[in-house]
Amino acid sequence: MSFGEISLEDKQSVLSELSEVKSLFASRGWFPGTSGNLSIRVGDFTSEQFDFAITASGKDKSLSTPEDFLFVDQDGKPSELTKLKPSAETLIHCEIYRQTGCGAIFHIHTVFNSLVSELFWERKSIPVDGVELIKAFNIWDEEAHIDIPIVSNFAHIPSIVPEVTERLDPRIPGIMLRKHGIYAWGANAFEAKRHLEAFEFLFEYVYRWELLNRKA
Ligand SMILES: CSC[C@@H](O)[C@@H](O)C(=O)COP(=O)(O)O
Ligand SMILES: [Zn+2]
């Protein structure tokens, strides 16, 4: 357990932030069928050892209960005594924290993110051209072009991790799992939320644009 030095106040503030984000996203229908998971890092971000609070696995994320979250360490192992199971996808969070040094990671399944992940699977990335909301990623070029990486969606989560490691693009604060959903992150919950909202806008835009341009 690597938890000693984190104050109760820090833990509580992370939990209340997560709880707020969870309720908001649930109100948008972003956790269908218990899908999705959220985490926020706590304590020292510079260290290779860290803890983060993450949603417990398989819960109805539209409800608020005392058993919604638990703390885990950088390897995804609970860093407190608990009977709760961390998200089945905790290892993906661990790898994103490790690689990016970010402070919060939000994952959701939506119809638009799943559709575009399949539409562009062959090129392994979703192209977006010149849409204003690209600026939400702090990319300010005129008519910016971005490619959002797509990785395989294996049932065995540890098998997904090497592809995340390989494909993660430091310019793009998100990665898509094929026919599954988007992981978005940021320095903190505010930034991760801004990024996630921008991704979802762009996915719907790209999908509709593709349909408009499709020859009959
Ligand atoms: C119930 S379908 C979704 C899961 O398979 C998974 O992809 C997911 O996002 C939620 O898993 P969880 O273990 O609750 O974090
Ligand atoms: Zn998922």
Structural domains counted in the chain: 1
The range of the structural domain enclosing residue 160 comes to 8-213
Interface pTM, i.e. ipTM = 0.97
Q: Which atom of ligand 1 is nearest to the CA of 89?
A: 15
How many other β-carbons are positioned within 10 Å of the β-carbon of residue 211?
A: 9
Q: Is 2 within a domain?
A: no
Cα-based torsion angle of the residue sequence 163, 35, 109, 99 in order, rounded to the nearest 10 degrees: -30
Q: Is 147 within a domain?
A: yes
CATH number of 154's domain: 3.40.225.10
Residue range 71-112, pLDDT digits in tens: 999 999 999 999 999 999 999 999 999 999 999 999 999 999
Residue range 151-198, pLDDT digits in tens: 999 999 999 999 999 999 999 999 999 999 999 999 999 999 999 999
Q: Is 66 within a domain?
A: yes
Q: Is 185 within a domain?
A: yes
Q: Do 105 and 192 contact (CB within 8 A), yes or no?
A: yes
Q: Do 38 and 62 contact (CB within 8 A), yes or no?
A: no
Q: Is 3 within a domain?
A: no
Q: Is 205 within a domain?
A: yes
Does residue 12 surpass a pLDDT of 50? yes
Q: What is the pTM of this model?
A: 0.96
- Lining ligand 1 with CB less than 6 A are 33-37, 55, 57-58, 87-89, 107
Q: What is the 8-class DSSP label of residue 192?
A: H
